[in-house]
Structure formats: structure tokens, C-alpha cells
Amino acid sequence: MRILLWHGYLLGGTGSNVYSRALAREWSKAGHEVVVVCQERAPEQFDLGTATVVNPELPGGLLPVFVLDRYEGLRPKLLQEFTDAEKAAYVEANAAALRELLPAELIFTNHVLLGGPVGAATGQPFRVKAHGSELEYSMRGRPELEEWGRETLAHAEVTYVGSEHIRRVLADVVGETGLVHEVPPGVDVDLFVLEDRPAALAALLEAARADPPNPGNAEERLPDEGNAARLEEFLAGDAPTVVYFGKLIEQKGVQVLLDAMQTLDARLVVVGFGPYRAQLEAMAPERTLFTGPLDHRHLVHLLPLATATVVPSVFPEAFGMVAAEAAAAGSPPVVARHSGLAEVAAGLEESYPERFRGLASFTSGDSEDLARKLAAIIALSVEDHDELRRAARQAVVERWSWHSVAQRLLQPV
């Protein structure tokens, strides 16, 4: 079938970006004709299978966002600060781009806002994926946006949510919306795999040596300058290693992890970009390395080197994709036990041997509890840690592969 996949942003970095490019790849691999309508200007850097990419021109270059970041060539502005005229112009520009690509058997849009309005404005049947960020960061407590979401979702064939938590949030924010199906996000289990330490480290350094120049780290969306040498020195030896990767904003709870690390005999790698980076660097313990953002080509080799990967978010999460990716690569995740993260923890625990089941999560915001869980993982024997990392991967393979997710999203509703 011909599928139009609309996503208002880029195809790398954040969860919804990864989600969109993974669907494009899986659907095209399954033989479908896929066109991705988004703002990604360099799609060739990603594996999209045979999918093609179209970039709609945005009126005034205005991009509605839920968290302020920099976008080259665009003017990001918080969705809740858009005027009615700006919202209408954005929706029509994107809907017009989709209409020009018709006919199609499926129009699939991301985010309640603005995926719902864009899909509805095409005049064609469409499906929507709620990611949660739009609900929590921009829509909740803003009646005009809540009503807009409710009105447009009423026209959708189905609204997909990634977890029971987001199903509840959706109902809380926009009320009754018609048909809602739960389909968790996925992980590329052929990309994130178990690697032994020497091979993983060599491949990580090779990937870092291929990074583009970033003098003075002026471009926050690129890896830090000189990462190859820094990583080689930092990861030398076999000291326990903890990893965080994600946005560097206060809501992600990295400050909780930094506090926990103060009492541990371990080193920490912090991967990501965002406005909170300088404050986090100022409070980080001595054995901490900030790398800037890393792509999947780095992470698939960094994660197998991690004794544990922490997802310390203090804000509700739709799903723990970061945790699932880490688990697939054999780095046992330790997640804050709330929202969609708690559902990931429960899935991991079902696959863990009983003696490890308390190690998948910690009390949200509690750095002492996190430190205890990390200390317990660090203290495991080589044999026990290997058993834990294999159990973590098995949980992902059984529950969250992209192949099964992509198929479920195409099922009749």
C-alpha cells in the first residue's frame, strides 16, 4: 500500500523522531510505498529503507514545539504561544503537502497536536499516534488546546498510544476521543545487540572518529569535538560504567542520577544535548564524561560497555524507549518507577530471574534508592551480570521489536 507518514520534526534524536524513521524503514522493508512528510533536511544519514522524504515549507519558518530547541533554518516557538492565525497557517501548509501526495491507502500522523489537525485537514481518513510530550508539555491545563485535540481526534480512524499510562493521560487531557488502541513503541533488535567489550569499544571509537567537525562544540546537535580521544581515555580499563542518554532538560532527572553517583565507585557517561547541560556539568562528580548527542551508530557500541543504563526522568514518560534500547544491547536499565517507565520495568521483571527483579527500577526522584540499585548491579559477579544482561535483551526481543510494532499499526480497526 501507499503510506503517507507525517511527522512535524526531524528524524533523529528524540523519541518521536526515532519512532517515525523506524516505522518508515519497517513499512518500506515490508514492501509498502512510504513517503515521510517532515522537516528533516538530511534524510540520507538515516536508514529509511526505500521511503522518500518531503519537506513542507512552513509559513514564516515557524515550527510549533513542546520544548524549545534550536532548528537550523526554522523558528521554533512553543505551541501554546502560537496565535490562531499561525496555527491555521501551519496546519494548512502541512495538510496541503499531504493532499498533493494523494492518493494513499493510509495517512499516519504523529502527535495529537498538531498531527490530529493536519490529518483532519486533508479531508481523508487518517490515524494518529499520541506521544505524550504534546499532552504533558503543551496541552494539559490549556482548555483551548485540549478542546482542539478532542475535536480533531474525533475525526481519526484510531488514536494509538504507547502505554496504558498515555491512554490515561489522553483521556484526562482531551476526554473521550473515540477508538484508542495501545501499541508500544519498538526497538531495532538487529541493531542493538550484545557485544563483547573489546569489539564494542573498538567500534565505538571508530564511530566517534567519523564524527563531523564541531569546533568549540558550537553546534549542540553534533557530538562534542574530540570525542574519540576522550572516550578512549575515559573508558580505558574495566571500571563499572553507568550511562545516561537523552535530552538534557530538568524534567529528565539527570540531576537525580548525578546525586546518586556521588557515593558510587563508578564512572558515568552522559549523552545528549539541551539547555540544562551547563548546570549538570557544574554538579557532576569527577568521573563524569559529557559527550554531546550521539547517534545510534555510537550508542549500539556504547551501551554494551555500560554496567547499567539509567532513565531517571522525574516527568511522566509515554514509554521507556531508551530503557528498551539499552536492554536490547545488554545494558540492564534502571528506570524511575512511574508512568510508561513503570510498564517497561514490569516487562523486564517478568523476564528476570527472581533474584534480579528488584533491580529494574527505583523510586522516582530518590537518589539514595537509585544509588542502592546501581550498587547492587555493580556488585554482581561477572556470571550474574551476564545472566542479567541476557535476560534484559530477551525481554525486549519478546515484547518490543519494531517489526511487530509496524505490523500491528497497519491492522484493520
Distance, in Å, from the CA atom of 254 to the CA atom of 76, rounded to the nearest integer, reads 24
Distance, in Å, from the CA atom of 31 to the CA atom of 312, rounded to the nearest integer, reads 39
The rounded Cα 92 to chain-centroid distance in angstroms is 27
Distance, in Å, from the CA atom of 352 to the CA atom of 341, rounded to the nearest integer, reads 16
115-134 pLDDT per residue, tens: 999 999 999 999 999 999 99
Give the pTM: 0.76
Name all domains of the chain by residue range, CATH numbers in brackets: 2-183 (3.40.50.2000), 197-399 (3.40.50.2000)
What is the average pLDDT across 218-234?
97
Higher pLDDT, 163 or 83: 83
How many C-beta neighbours within 10 Å does residue 412 have? 5
pLDDT-derived band at 319 (thresholds 50, 70, 90) equals: confident
Distances (CA, A) of 146 to 80, 117, 137, 139: 11, 12, 12, 6
Least confident interval from 12-21, 77-86, 168-177, 326-335: 12-21
User: What is the pLDDT, as a whole number, of residue 345?
Assistant: 96
Among 126, 92, 96, 112, CA closest to 4: 126
Higher pLDDT, 37 or 398: 37
User: What is the pLDDT, as a whole number, of residue 35?
Assistant: 98
Query: Phi/psi zone of residue 323: left (φ > 0), alpha (ψ -120 to 50 degrees), beta?
Result: alpha
User: What is the pLDDT, as a whole number, of residue 197?
Assistant: 96
86-125 pLDDT per residue, tens: 999 999 999 999 999 999 999 999 999 999 999 999 999 9
Residue 155's identity, in one-letter code, is: H
In the Cβ-directed half-sphere of 174, how many Cα atoms lie within 13 Å? 29
What is the average pLDDT across 151-176?
95
Q: Is the pLDDT of residue 153 over 90?
A: yes
DSSP state of 136: I
pLDDT-derived band at 70 (thresholds 50, 70, 90) equals: confident
372-392 pLDDT per residue, tens: 999 999 999 999 999 999 999
What is the average pLDDT across 211-235?
97
Distances (CA, A) of 269 to 193, 240, 262, 291, 392: 19, 11, 14, 7, 20
- Print burial letters for 132-168: b (CB count within 10 Å at least 16), e (below 16): bbbbbbbbeeeeebbebbbebbebbbbbbbbbebbbe
Mean pLDDT score of the chain, rounded to an integer?
96
Cell numbers linked to 275: 539547555
User: What is the pLDDT, as a whole number, of residue 13?
Assistant: 77
Distance, in Å, from the CA atom of 32 to the CA atom of 48, rounded to the nearest integer, reads 12
User: What is the pLDDT, as a whole number, of residue 320?
Assistant: 86
How many C-beta neighbours within 10 Å does residue 388 have? 23
Among 256, 243, 247, CA closest to 276: 247
What is the average pLDDT across 316-345?
93
Residues 6 or more apart whose CB falls under 8 angstroms from that of 190 comprise none
227-277 pLDDT per residue, tens: 999 999 999 999 999 999 999 999 999 999 999 999 999 999 999 999 999
User: What is the pLDDT, as a whole number, of residue 112?
Assistant: 98
Q: Is the pLDDT of residue 318 over 90?
A: no
